[in-house]
């Protein structure tokens, strides 16, 4: 059997083509080796749509995200992120509050961030995005958050994000 690489017409490749094929196979092998490094990989993400609201003359949008991960410590982990963006102007420290929760698909709360408030100024269209700790179960999860805004004298009532779709861990 002939070990010389051939083209699509089954003719032997020239020296330049053989060298190129060898180099490309090396690049592919290197890419596989690098991507196979033992690091956490994002296995999946489910994101809710944006909801808009206004508090104290500032417009905001919010959303919830559930991320699932694969790691050496936990092969089925998930965590939730709540995001609130001031869309009309920057806001000072303490103007945005978020509590994000990670739910199992049956509605049971798996993790909660507790109420967190932005510790520094948040620029216009930049998210304040606290997250929960990770849960380590092989199940489906979703995320939902409540956000509040400073009115100038007190915090507003909570504005719930839309619920994210379920994401399997």
- The domains of the chain are located at 1-37, 41-168
Within 10 angstroms of residue 117's Cβ, the number of other Cβ atoms is 15
Give the model confidence (pLDDT) of 130-167 as tens digits. Answer: 999 899 888 899 999 999 999 999 999 889 999 999 99
pTM higher than the cut 0.75: no
What topology does CATH give the domain 41-168?
Immunoglobulin-like (2.60.40)
Give the model confidence (pLDDT) of 26-55 as tens digits. Answer: 443 434 333 333 333 357 999 999 999 999
Measured distance CA(64)–CA(165) in Å, rounded: 10
């Amino acid at each position: 059997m002939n070990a010389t690489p051939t083209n699509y017409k089954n003719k032997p490749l020239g020296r330049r083509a053989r060298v190129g094929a060898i180099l490309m196979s090396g690049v592919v092998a290197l890419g596989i080796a690098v991507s196979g490094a033992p690091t956490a990989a994002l296995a999946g993400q489910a994101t809710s749509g944006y909801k808009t609201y206004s508090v104290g003359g500032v417009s905001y949008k919010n959303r919830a995200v559930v991320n699932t991960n694969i790691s050496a410590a936990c092969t089925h982990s998930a965590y939730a992120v709540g995001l609130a963006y001031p869309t009309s102007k920057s806001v000072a420290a303490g103007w945005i509050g978020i509590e994000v929760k990670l739910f199992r698909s049956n509605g049971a709360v798996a993790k909660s961030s507790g109420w967190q408030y932005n510790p520094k100024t948040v620029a216009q269209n930049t998210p304040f995005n606290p997250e929960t700790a990770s849960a380590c179960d092989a199940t489906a999860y979703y995320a939902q958050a409540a956000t509040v805004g400073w009115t100038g004298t007190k915090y507003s009532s909570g504005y719930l994000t839309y619920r994210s779709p379920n994401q399997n861990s």
